[in-house]
Structure 1
Amino acid sequence: MKLAVVGGGSTYTPELIDGFARLRDTLPLTELVLVDPAAERLETVGGLARRILAKQGHPGRVTTTTDVDKGVEGADAVLLQLRVGGQAARAKDESWPLECGCVGQETTGAGGLAKALRTVPVVLDIAERVRRRAPDAWIIDFTNPVGIVTRALLQAGHRAVGLCNVAIHLQRKFAGLLGVAPEGVHLDHYGLNHLTWELAVRLGGPDGEDVLPSLLDAHGPRIADELRLPAPVLARLGVVPSYYLRYFYAHDEVVDEMRTKPSRASEVAAMEAELLEMYRDPALDEKPELLARRGGAFYSEAAVALAASLLGGGAGDGADAGGVQVVNTYNHGTLPFLPDDAVVEVPARVGPHGARPLPAPPLDPLYAGLVGHVSAYESLALDAALRGGRERVFRALLSHPLVGQYAQAEQLTDRLLAHNREHLAWL
Structure 2
Amino acid sequence: MSDLKKMYTTMVEDPFPAELVIRLGDAELTFAKRTWTIDGQEKGLRYGENPDQPAALYAPAEGRLTLGGVTFRGPGDGLVCAATEEHLLQSGKHPGKTNLTDVDNGVNILQYLTRKPAAVILKHNNPCGAAWSDDGLCPAFEAAFHADRIAAFGGAIVVNRTLDVATAEKINAVYFEVVAAPDYEPKALEILKSKKNLRIFKLPGLAQLEKLAGQPFLDVKCLADGGMVLQFSFRNRILSAEDFLPATATDKAGTTVTARTPTPAEAEDLLFAWAVESGVTSNSVIFVKNGATVGIGTGEQDRVGVVELTIHKAKTKYADGLAFAACQMSLYELKLKAKTDPEAAKLLEDIEKRTEAAGGGLIGSVLVSDGFFPFRDGVDLCIGAGVTAIAQPGGSIRDTEVVAACNEATPQVAMVFTGQRSFRH
TM-score, normalization: structure 1? 0.26
More strand by share: 2
Larger Rg: 2
* Structure with greater helix share of residues: 1
Taking structure 2 as the reference length, the TM-score comes to 0.26
- Higher RCO (CA 8 Å, separation ≥ 6 residues): 1
